[in-house]
Amino acid sequence: MAQKWTNYKAHQKLVNPSNKRKLDIIVVGTGLAGASAAASFGEMGFNVKVFTIQDSPRRAHSIAAQGGINAAKNYPNDGDSVYRLFYDTVKGGDYRAREANVYRLAEVSNSIIDQCVAQGVPFAREYGGLLDNRSFGGAQVSRTFYAKGQTGQQLLLGAYQALMRQVELKTVKLYTRNELVNIVMVDGKARGIISRDLVTGKTQRHFGHAVVLATGGYGNTFFLSTNAMGSNGSAALQAYKKGAMFANPCFAQIHPTCIPVHGEFQSKLTLMSESLRNDGRIWVPKKKEDAEAIRAGKLKPTQIAEEDRDYYLERRYPAFGNLVPRDVASRAAKERCDAGYGVGNTGLAVYLDFKESIERLGEDTIRARYGNLFQMYEKIVDDNPYDTPMMIYPAIHYTMGGIWVDYELQTSVPGLFCAGEANFSDHGANRLGASALMQGLADGYFVLPYTIQNYLADDIRTPRMSGDEKEFVEAEKESQDRLNKLLSIKGQRSVDSIHKELGLIMWDFVGMARNKEGLQNAIEKIRAVKKEFWSNVRIPGSNDGMNIELEKANRLADFIEIGELMALDALNREESCGGHFREEHQTEEGEALRHDDQYAYVSCWEYKGDNQEPELHKEELKYEEIQLVQRNYK
């Protein structure tokens, strides 16, 4: 295992410099994964076209990541190593990730930090001038590098700047406000995409010897999530429809520390970084009558005496305490609220309290660590977290599932690669904090630049296509037909109203706790939403020019199908693991109960046509390095 990546690199095929210029690569997405890949391909001498739906690559959703990025540097000398990062990631993922990919991820993690520092990413430092680390959920070492509460922003700006340097050097051509609407297949290989210019409404055909999707996760299937408003699953779903398998769609992560929902007009949920759990303690009142008084506005949290507070994570998991993995922390919050101990006016909130840390470290230290998060909270909730505990509740945050890829990050469609959150590869059934940034940059800077060459080396004699070939023309027509069809429905309901309906079904039945009956029910309901959408959505305006409702409708059509796929997958997986909790499968203490004898596999779903059940393929997970055990954070 430890030698696998080194051996791969030593024996893979390479493309010589003069041939690189003859090869075109399309990269869709400019988040950490896409921007880092596109910049690196450009530096290597390939011809790159890169697409993003935002007005600038710098605005990709990766910008919002707060907490940090993991690496096995072991700078604090607290016993970290590549093996331990690998082990923690596999364990954190509840033993549903592919060992070889995770090992490689841990192995390249250190190079990421070196690269980012060289780019001028201003990571936090200690007084001695060296890099500072903090700890994150699911680990007993401090291996998380951070830049205030804006780590994703700084890493993305580093990758974005590297990308803009290549744009200036003309190795990369940038298409902003441009959305992938179709993937073009020629002789069984991905050879291009159809894009739609969101300003003019016009579609365009683009050829590439290879296509990389780095389009992020599909958490917005739930309508309310911590994802940016534009995050979507459309590129992944289009790939699925062209033959790429969709893996583990039901593995979605619910993040424990988000600002609770405040009303039905709410448009998104705001995450409060998990790093807050380093210094904040989570609690609810011990007595039901206190919780009731708080909900009625008669008591304040600061009036509850120390002995009347239930620090339930510290009580249930003394070894990890407030730093248990996200799925564990989320379910524990739900458990307390369902039992009637929740706070806030809805009862769907718990406290995250900094009083003790402020006493111990001083307000200035806490401000230096989390100042921007506290400010964000105060602006939203109108409460000062330095004086009164924050209120938090779990929300949908990240999707571990995604397009299936092999060790080379190639999908089941030759020539189509997938990186970052859009693929399924490294996090199993649950992702540890600070590991998504690591994975996105690992894929883009240090994996794809090697593996894509191994593929392209066989393509040096394939001439560029003009985009006038019948496959391109047909794919473009297919997309235009769909857009026209959407516009012709002229129904009664707005896109958002239908999306909210889908979101509620997902949250109620395919959310934090799932069961057979609920999932069957959800599938029926999602199919009804699909029918409603295709017969009753109302999209004002036309297809020539900017039309935001049309953009949203086009994405919602895909979210509905992803929702159904998530429910189907959750129904199939008769076990609990990581973010997937089936109520029928729990231990006596209410912890997730895996069934390794039956479900130690990746569910890979193959598209079989509209309104047909997809076919399930299983990739068995063989563990050579790590022994499967029940996760234990006690």
Ligand X SMILES: Cc1cc2nc3c(=O)[nH]c(=O)nc-3n(C[C@H](O)[C@H](O)[C@H](O)COP(=O)(O)OP(=O)(O)OC[C@H]3O[C@@H](n4cnc5c(N)ncnc54)[C@H](O)[C@@H]3O)c2cc1C
Stretch binding other proteins (CB under 8 A), from 158-166, 294-302, 353-361, 397-405: 158-166
**Is residue 326 annotated as part of the catalytic site, yes or no?**
yes
How many helices (H) and strands (E) the chain has is answered by: 19, 19
Q: Are 419 and 437 in contact (CB under 8 A)?
A: no
Among 23, 25, 32, 358, binds ligand X (CB under 6 A): 32
Among 17, 77, 130, 187, binds other proteins (CB under 8 A): 130
Kindly identify the residues of this chain, within the stretch 480-519, that bind ligand X according to CB under 6 A: none
DSSP string, 28-68: E--SHHHHHHHHHHHHHT-EEEEE-SSSSGGGSGGGG--S-
Q: Which residues pair with 418 in a beta bridge?
A: 213
Is 89 a residue that touches ligand X (CB under 6 A)?
no
Stretch binding ligand X (CB under 6 A), from 1-9, 184-192, 229-237, 603-611: 229-237
- Using alpha carbons only, give the angle 130, 136, 142 rounded to the nearest 5 degrees: 35
Cα separation, 427 vs 434, in Å, equals 11
Give the one entry of ligand X, other proteins, none that residue 39 binds, where binding means its C-beta sits below a cut-off of 5 to 8 angstroms depending on kind.
Answer: other proteins
Cβ closer to ligand X: 175 or 283?
Answer: 175
Kindly identify the residues of this chain, within the stretch 210-239, that bind other proteins according to CB under 8 A: 228-230
Is 376 a residue that touches other proteins (CB under 8 A)?
yes
Give whole-number Cα distances, 258 to 232, 329, 333, 521, 576, in Å: 20, 12, 12, 28, 23
Can you tell me which residue has the tokens 């401000």? 367
Stretch binding ligand X (CB under 6 A), from 2-10, 166-174, 211-219, 448-456: 211-219
Q: Which residues lie below 8 Å from residue 481, measured CB to CB, with a gap of 6+?
A: none
Cβ closer to other proteins: 157 or 333?
Answer: 157
Q: Are 138 and 146 in contact (CB under 8 A)?
A: no
Q: Are 450 and 220 in contact (CB under 8 A)?
A: no
Can you tell me which residue has the tokens 């598209």? 607
Question: Judging by DSSP bridges, how do beta strands 189-197 and 203-207 pair with one another?
Answer: antiparallel
Q: Are 4 and 104 in contact (CB under 8 A)?
A: yes
Kindly identify the residues of this chain, within the stretch 529-548, that bind other proteins according to CB under 8 A: 538, 540-541, 545-546, 548
Cα separation, 89 vs 85, in Å, equals 6
Give whole-number Cα distances, 75 to 78, 130, 141, 156, 315, in Å: 8, 9, 11, 23, 31
Structure tokens at 73: 């540097």
Cβ closer to ligand X: 231 or 576?
Answer: 231
Q: Are 581 and 514 in contact (CB under 8 A)?
A: yes
Cβ closer to other proteins: 54 or 182?
Answer: 54
Structure tokens at 611: 């309104």
Is 128 a residue that touches other proteins (CB under 8 A)?
yes
From residue 497 to residue 516, the character string flagging contacts with other proteins as x (rule: CB under 8 A) and all else as - is x-------------------
Residue 58: phi, psi to the nearest 5? Answer: -70, -10
CB of 233 to ligand X, least distance (A): 8
Kindly identify the residues of this chain, within the stretch 325-364, that bind other proteins according to CB under 8 A: none
Cβ closer to other proteins: 428 or 449?
Answer: 449
CB of 557 to other proteins, least distance (A): 17
Kindly identify the residues of this chain, within the stretch 150-179, that bind ligand X according to CB under 6 A: 151-152, 179
CB of 81 to other proteins, least distance (A): 16
Give the one entry of other proteins, ligand X, none that residue 101 binds, where binding means its C-beta sits below a cut-off of 5 to 8 angstroms depending on kind.
Answer: none
Kindly identify the residues of this chain, within the stretch 287-306, that bind ligand X according to CB under 6 A: none
Give the one entry of ligand X, other proteins, none that residue 426 binds, where binding means its C-beta sits below a cut-off of 5 to 8 angstroms depending on kind.
Answer: none
Stretch binding ligand X (CB under 6 A), from 30-38, 382-390, 541-549, 585-593: 30-38
Is 174 a residue that touches other proteins (CB under 8 A)?
yes
The per-residue b/e assignment along 139-160, b for 16 or more CB within 10 angstroms, e otherwise, is bebbbbbbbbbbbbbbbbbbbb
Give the one entry of other proteins, ligand X, none that residue 134 binds, where binding means its C-beta sits below a cut-off of 5 to 8 angstroms depending on kind.
Answer: none
Cα separation, 178 vs 200, in Å, equals 10
Q: Which residues pair with 207 in a beta bridge?
A: 192
Rg (CA), the chain: 24
Cα separation, 104 vs 448, in Å, equals 12
Cβ closer to ligand X: 215 or 411?
Answer: 215
Structure tokens at 45: 């001498």
Is 124 a residue that touches other proteins (CB under 8 A)?
yes
Kindly identify the residues of this chain, within the stretch 50-79, that bind ligand X according to CB under 6 A: 51-54, 60-62, 64-69
Q: Are 522 and 506 in contact (CB under 8 A)?
A: yes
Is 478 a residue that touches other proteins (CB under 8 A)?
no
CB of 301 to other proteins, least distance (A): 19
Is 234 a residue that touches ligand X (CB under 6 A)?
yes
Which residue among 309, 326, 336, 369 is the active-site one? 326
Residues with a catalytic annotation lie at 326
Q: What residues make contact with ligand X under the rule CB under 6 A?
A: 28-34, 51-54, 60-62, 64-69, 151-152, 179-180, 214-216, 226-227, 231-232, 234-235, 271, 273, 397-398, 420-422, 433-437, 440
